[in-house]
Structure 1
């Protein structure tokens, strides 16, 4: 049998091994990005998913803040008082003959706009809680998209690792056959076995990374078991076409709402520094003469020392801090938008270059090396080198697609309104 015939037969086996796919993996139900977002509670689903613990907290905080608004609208309760005087004394006041009974009703009057200031402060806090809850949902959506992309990248790397193992296993077999028939030196077989061992180790690492990535994804909706298998093809995650650092961005809305809440707290604390009078009215019965009389009264605290000045100063300091945080949030947001947009465009360009130029060129180079190997012009090591170069580009393409997906998720989060 000629050397060219041997090379053609063996290289044909290598090609078939490289093209082999796992049918079982294709038949398994794969988790889509839309399904992952639905499981996390980010988008509506036809099947009502269980409540995500990561969303319960922010929603409960918003509910609590709205309940406090209702509480702030309530006025002070009236007070009823009953007094009995001159009981069981001595002399003329012995027994109950000289007892005086008083029944009165009193009401505290809120002055200085306390109720209005209290309601406005509670409403401002409720707005902060509502916007913070919406921001938490947006952040969870970003995490789901990022971890889904990472899981897809892990699945793609696992698929690549399996292809490399199959190729190296076939190369090791071919090298053994060629050594046996005297077509290659024994060193070639040893190198092929070493490459196979390294590929198997990489496959084990890829399996572990795939499981870890799916676990991390499932944790976002509160499941301890790994998520369903994800495809090895990256989803199309479209970022906002135009993203500007506008005041409508959620992060800036939260910072602004916190500053407005701090401002409302100052008005509330200042109103609390104004004393509230209490008026009372009642009836008194004189047991000795069986007479009755009405009584009215008014009481008011004297703001000699405590005028709530400490709480007012603290609220003013919190406003200064909230104003500074808002300015920082605006500056940081503009920087993050600029950086994320630039990095996304760079990653997109890299994906386009690798997918449309580098990978096709590597595939063509591998095809030509295989033809040359069949014709006896290239040794087996050249086929291995060309395949490794192609796999390196495949890995670079996976990384670029992963970067693009993560940056798209970041841009969607930054554009949340």
Structure 2
């Protein structure tokens, strides 16, 4: 039992030591740090920049090509690099001209590819923001529960110390001391489990923020009053989601890419034109011959039919995925709204808040009356256990309620409930 007491004292003193190293942040401060330091977002930004650079590259013309023939004399008289008087020099320059609007289609394809990268960035932002807020509020409510359990352990330790002293004098039953110790073990175990959950949530939050220090959420006022469904309807929320969801925008850009690629593949079946000029010093019918060259590929063996059929099938595939994504969006919005309505129905948040205050006062009076001997040990243990369960269940419910609204933010792709604290 002496070892248990040492464990309890460590639990009660560890929190104060950890709080000195933790970084207190409000949610807006956390989101600002998240935007600046999250490495996944930074990497995706570089992908967007890279794809934007390819748009400019697609606009560029092909470089001209140059070829030459340098005179080496004759078989009877070898004269390396004889390009002077009586020697031979031939030069050719050639420029490829893309026909059928190939270059314009390549630019369009690069633009849609950049749009896909931008939509992917927004989708990553949407996903990580939900993770950020989920971890933030989970950590906040876990710390609220932890605060209560620490207070319980502290009060119980004082009562147990008094009972041990009375037990040594024979003024209380030793069995009562054992029962109080068992109660202490149960609460200490609950506290340990809670700390494991808190550490996991803290690690997730710290990773998302790219912070070298743990974070302590700072929530001012009644956080639940910042979330209310108001006049939003299923139809209005669904319309908002269809207009703003980045994953739906990504599916649409991929469909547009497929359409442009199909047009490009059809254009690639059209041969391109080579235009150039040639100069021949002494090898032609006349000295210093100058001529114009024209060339075109003959589409005899390859008319790009396979790529055209593949691109046409890809359009159908991307269209099916886009329509499926629209259905998913509508279903996710309906599910998120139903969850909120379920949590709100009969929750009686103002009554719950008042009830929490009354319960806090009640448990303080119970502890006081138990010290005075006005209530029995069994009554005290029953109240104590009920209070612990109430605090854990209440904070879990409050966390679930906040996350339900954040899930609706996520499913609509907007910040309908943008908290400020």
Shared fold per TM-score greater than 0.5 = yes
Aligned match for 2:157, one of 160, 169, 179: 169
Q: How does 1:79-158 map to 2 (within 5 A)?
A: 79-84=65-70, 87-91=72-76, 95=79, 99-158=87-146
1:62-81 matched pairs, under 5 angstroms: 62-81=48-67
What is the correspondence of 1:4-15 to structure 2 with a 5 Å cutoff? none
**Maintained 8 Å contact 2:130/2:407:** yes
Q: Alpha-carbon deviation of 1:356?
A: 3.5
Q: Which residue of 1 aligns with 2:40?
A: 54
Tell me how far apart the structure 1 counterparts of residues 393 and 186 of structure 2 sit (CA, whole Å): 19
Equivalent pair of 2:105/2:263 in contact (CA under 8 Å) = yes
CA distance in 2, matches of 1:173, 1:94: 113
Cross-structure match for 2:8: none
CA-CA distance at 1:123 after TM superposition = 0.9
Contact 2:242/2:329 (<8 A) preserved:
no
2:159/2:371 contact within 8 Å kept: no
Question: 1:297 and 1:342, CA in 2 relative to 1: closer, same or farther beyond 3 A?
Answer: same
Partner in structure 2 of residue 403 of structure 1 = 400
Unpaired runs of at least 5, structure 2 = 1-14, 415-421
Counterpart CA distance in 2 for 1:370 and 1:164 is: 10
> How far apart, in 2, do the equivalents of 1:61 and 1:351 lie?
48
- Aligned-residue offset at 1:353: 7.1
Distance 2:179 2:297 in 1: 94
C-alpha distance in structure 2 between counterparts of 1:193 and 1:368, whole Å: 21
Deviation, structure 1 residue 156:
1.6
Alpha-carbon deviation of 1:24? 10
Distance 1:282 1:374, change over 3 A: closer
Pair 208,367 (structure 1): closer, same or farther in 2 beyond 3 Å: closer
Work out whether residues 239 and 412 of structure 1, in 8 Å CA contact, stay in contact via their aligned partners in 2: no
TM-score (norm 1): 0.81
| Contact map agreement 2:101 2:267 (CA 8 A) in 1 | yes
Shift of 1:67: 0.8
Of 405-414 and 141-150, the range deviating more from structure 2: 405-414
| Cα distance, 1:337 vs structure 2 | 1.1
Matched, 1:329 2:315: no
Change (3 A) 1:59 1:28: closer
CA–CA distance in 2 between the matches of 1:238 and 1:251?
25
User: Partners of 1:274 and 1:289 in 2: how far apart?
Assistant: 35
Task: Indicate the residue corresponding to 2:30 in structure 1.
Answer: 36
Match of 2:278 among 282, 293, 299: 282
